[in-house]
């Protein structure tokens, strides 16, 4: 057990059966009354952000979340199979943990998975990935300067918005957080 005085950025607190990661903290010693610690915390699983205040010296339960590099191998039914890059063990991760990240995952891609007591909590992709457009309406001559966009399906099955002049077979860079088109990739 730790106390609220031990709170730092990145500390993971176990509270009411849930894990909360400290994003910001501030030790406050007012002129009157006792000292306290003001924090901004993010739920490790859901991503919900809350503000929480602890009195100085309050006992808190900390948890260890181990972030490790994994390689995405394949989809097994609805679950996803990953290989630990340090010991080559394979783990199966549910779609609830993977979330929308599956829209941008290709086989053999490197990802980071946060583990607590061996259970996967969340998955982080690189900030951007390179994907090939598999289908989009053909571009027309003169579409280069209008600045409009059209829907395109990439090789993972996700649909993104791309400039009008891009055609199927073009490799593009995609932001994994928002699904935005970032640019064309020349091989």
- 81 and 58 part of one domain: no
- 70 and 120 part of one domain: yes
pLDDT tens for the chain, 187 residues: list them. 788 888 888 888 998 888 888 889 999 998 888 899 999 998 887 878 999 999 988 999 998 888 899 999 999 889 999 999 999 999 999 888 888 888 999 999 999 988 888 888 888 889 899 999 999 888 666 555 567 788 999 999 999 998 888 888 889 999 988 889 998 888 6
If one counts the domains in the chain, the total is: 3
Q: Could you tell me the CATH number of the domain that includes residue 148?
A: 2.40.50.140
Looking at residue 160, what is its pLDDT? 92
Q: Domain end: 48, 63, 78, which one?
A: 63
Bridge partners (DSSP) listed for residue 21:
12, 42
- 18 and 39 part of one domain: yes
- 73 and 116 part of one domain: yes
Whether the CA torsion 115, 78, 133, 85 is positive or negative: it is positive
**Gyration radius from the chain CA atoms:** 22
- 103 and 80 part of one domain: yes
- 146 and 118 part of one domain: no
Report the C-alpha gap between 62 and 57 in whole angstroms. Answer: 14
Q: What count of other Cβ atoms lies within 10 Å of the Cβ of residue 167?
A: 13
- 48 and 25 part of one domain: yes
Q: Domain end: 19, 37, 63, which one?
A: 63
Looking at residue 25, what is its pLDDT? 92
Q: Domain end: 79, 103, 124, which one?
A: 124
- 15 and 58 part of one domain: yes
Report the C-alpha gap between 100 and 102 in whole angstroms. Answer: 5
Q: What is the pLDDT of residues 116-150, one digit of tens each?
A: 888 888 888 898 999 999 998 886 665 555 677 88
- 118 and 134 part of one domain: no
- 88 and 111 part of one domain: yes
Residue 96 belongs to domain spanning? 66-124
- 114 and 141 part of one domain: no
Q: Could you tell me the CATH number of the domain that includes residue 14?
A: 2.30.30.30
Report the C-alpha gap between 12 and 18 in whole angstroms. Answer: 10
Instruction: Provide the token pair at 20.
Output: 């909360």
Plot region of 66 (φ>0 → left; ψ -120 to 50 → alpha; else → beta):
beta
Looking at residue 41, what is its pLDDT? 92
- 160 and 142 part of one domain: yes
């Amino acid at each position: 057990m730790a106390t609220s005085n031990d709170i730092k950025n990145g500390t993971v607190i176990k509270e009411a059966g849930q894990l909360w990661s400290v994003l910001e903290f501030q030790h406050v010693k007012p002129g009157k009354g006792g000292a306290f610690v003001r924090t901004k915390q993010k739920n490790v699983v859901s991503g919900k952000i809350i503000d929480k205040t602890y009195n100085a010296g309050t006992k808190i339960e900390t948890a260890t979340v181990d972030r490790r590099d994994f390689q995405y191998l394949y989809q097994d039914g609805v679950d996803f199979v990953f290989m630990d890059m340090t010991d080559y063990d394979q783990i199966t991760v549910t779609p609830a943990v993977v979330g929308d990240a599956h829209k941008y995952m290709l086989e053999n891609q490197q990802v980071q998975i946060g583990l607590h007591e061996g259970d996967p909590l969340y998955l982080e992709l690189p900030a951007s990935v390179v994907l090939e457009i598999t289908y989009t309406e053909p571009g027309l001559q003169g579409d280069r300067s209008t600045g409009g966009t059209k829907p395109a399906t990439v090789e993972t099955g996700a649909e993104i918005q791309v400039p009008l002049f891009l055609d199927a077979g073009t490799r593009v860079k995609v932001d994994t957080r928002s699904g935005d088109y970032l640019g064309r990739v020349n091989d």
